[in-house]
Chain A
């Protein structure tokens, strides 16, 4: 009886006590907490436009291409190096062109020698034999002339036969022609080289020289040089690799122009109307220590372009477009690099 009379209420009291105790213990506490490392607050005031910025070198980065495809034989620069205009960046393999150059240089030398020879005229040793040939021809002529004169008289006296008379005449004619030929030969030798031959040889020399120069230009094109003074941002080519002249993405070498860094800020097209010229702006580096960076307005790009990084979801509007606003980094804040992303706030 006692057990029922007092036991049950006692158990009930313990149960409710336990219930109340666990109640406050188990019920989750619902309250807002502060974010551990919240994104930065802008100091520009209430009405701001926020955009995604990317740090770039002054001017657009220059993607250096190779003029001809070929295997790289030497890379002259490393990223971060300062180069002046004309300094070689990398060299392509030139063995084939060097051999070609040797070949063409030899051709030029031959043409030059030919010209010199022509200009020198008749070889002096050729003259005495020619003269001797003429003397001999003169002597033969005289002998035949005399024989024929004699024959003319003797045939009238009917001492010589008609046949002998004619033979002497033909011998005279022949030696007369031979004398003329010897005289002409000698005259040609004495006159030296014909001026037209020299002209032809001169042109041949010029042609050989230009073909040598062409190979030299080709050789020079194998050395890719910096077009401007700047900083090597990126090198994506190594000795022994094939540098393709058709490669458009991932440039072989990327150059930046020295000067204050610039920030290209993407603004959603729907906010584009709120962007104003010369609006004050500040950027925040993404990272643990988010220091504000002062920015100075440069320009608004006149074109709205399709945004490159879309989410790819099925319900995505693909024609999302962005406006680019260009700002310049004021001063030289430390730890800012080209390619870095910034959260940018602009006055709107």
Chain B
């Protein structure tokens, strides 16, 4: 009987193609939007991701999100080091600063000051130069997207001289950093230099990054640090969660993407439901004939389900393929707002399950007529 079902399905090529395209479009919309949403949430914790040597972040207790670090005393680093279970702790500085090019253009940049010696928090992917170049005088490392933003049309290269906070800075390296929440160009430098570039008169620390030793879990050590120092200590995962929660709470991004994804679902359901409905209405006579020759409703339903499953699978494959093609094209660019965006495997699989279920549901609703059709229709002519 399944063969008959396929024959019916493939009989009208235009409808078949419309069905497949409808499903694939819905899949594309849902999976791509979900993936971008997920990637944005991922990108909002960019600094935590880059500093993948540390599993504990220590901050002022009023800090709610990554980009909003308040200065703490330099001696806090030593206090964190005193806690049993801490393998090492290093300072980390983060601020925004005004960058001025030699021809006088101004740009606000995200300044990251990494510990001069341990290099914890340094960019993981250097495109030009190495981490040793951080030790050159007045050296900064800029991300390639920021570089093309600041020097449009210039082939990325080291040696450009800029002014940050009225201090000379030399581009000593260029790195790749995925998209971040703020989207500002990123400038990495030694903490000692960053502090003077941010025109801080004293010697502040924004975060203390620490690593728990092998005998203690990060959660346990973070609790100990909070208790002993009065500072807020969060594990890497907890701090990522805090940052994402804060963004979801204070920006409309969740609603925004939610609406788009919902639209994808509605459009998908509408196209699939409508086409299946038309499809079954047009093939009503065939189904009636089948019923007339004694085929049960259950078998007919199974035939339609098979059709729907086939269409949704094909549609899903095309849609998810297109979505991944989109990411393969956009996210592998070194600069550009979608760099580093990716489709999470859970979205990849989840959107498939979702779209198949939705399609099945839509066709079941739309083929009620077939199940209730009177076989006598065939003879009415």
Which residues in A have some Cβ–Cβ distance to B below 8 Å? 1, 4-5, 8-9, 11-19, 22-23, 26-28, 30-39, 41, 46-52, 266, 268, 270-271, 286-288, 307, 309-316, 320, 322, 343, 345, 348
User: How far is A38 from B55 in the complex, measured between Cα atoms in Å?
Assistant: 14
User: How far is A26 from B345 in the complex, measured between Cα atoms in Å?
Assistant: 10
The answer to the question of B201 belonging to the interface, with a C-beta cut-off of 8 Å to chain A, is yes
Q: In the complex, what residues of A have CB within 8 A of residue B84's CB?
A: 46-48
- Measured CB to CB, the closest approach of chain A to B179, in angstroms, equals 12
Q: In the complex, what residues of A have CB within 8 A of residue B76's CB?
A: 268
The answer to the question of B79 belonging to the interface, with a C-beta cut-off of 8 Å to chain A, is yes
- Measured CB to CB, the closest approach of chain A to B228, in angstroms, equals 9
| B119 A37 Cβ-Cβ under 8 A | yes
Q: Main SS of the interface on chain B?
A: mixed
Known: A19-B321, A307-B75, A315-B60. A271 touches B82 (CB 8 A): yes
The answer to the question of B90 belonging to the interface, with a C-beta cut-off of 8 Å to chain A, is yes
Q: In the complex, what residues of B have CB within 8 A of residue A26's CB?
A: 324, 327-328, 331-332, 342-343
The answer to the question of B70 belonging to the interface, with a C-beta cut-off of 8 Å to chain A, is yes
> Which positions 13-29 of chain B face chain A at CB distance < 8 Å?
13, 16-17, 20
Query: Lowest 10 A-B CB distances belong to which pairs?
Result: A15-B321, A313-B71, A311-B204, A12-B317, A311-B71, A50-B81, A16-B317, A50-B78, A46-B84, A19-B324
User: How far is A5 from B52 in the complex, measured between Cα atoms in Å?
Assistant: 50
5 A-B pairs with CB atoms under 8 Å apart are: A14-B321, A18-B324, A32-B55, A311-B202, A313-B70
| A307 B322 Cβ-Cβ under 8 A | no
| A50 B314 Cβ-Cβ under 8 A | no
User: How far is A33 from B51 in the complex, measured between Cα atoms in Å?
Assistant: 9
Given contacts A9-B314, A18-B321, A36-B120, 12 further A-B contacts (CB under 8 A): A1-B10, A5-B10, A11-B318, A12-B321, A18-B324, A23-B348, A30-B49, A35-B90, A39-B118, A311-B202, A312-B201, A313-B70
Q: In the complex, what residues of A have CB within 8 A of residue B200's CB?
A: 311-312
- Measured CB to CB, the closest approach of chain A to B286, in angstroms, equals 18
Q: In the complex, what residues of A have CB within 8 A of residue B79's CB?
A: 50, 268, 270-271
The answer to the question of B301 belonging to the interface, with a C-beta cut-off of 8 Å to chain A, is no
| B75 A52 Cβ-Cβ under 8 A | yes
Interface string of B286-330 (1 = CB under 8 A from A): 000000000000000000000000000111111011111101100
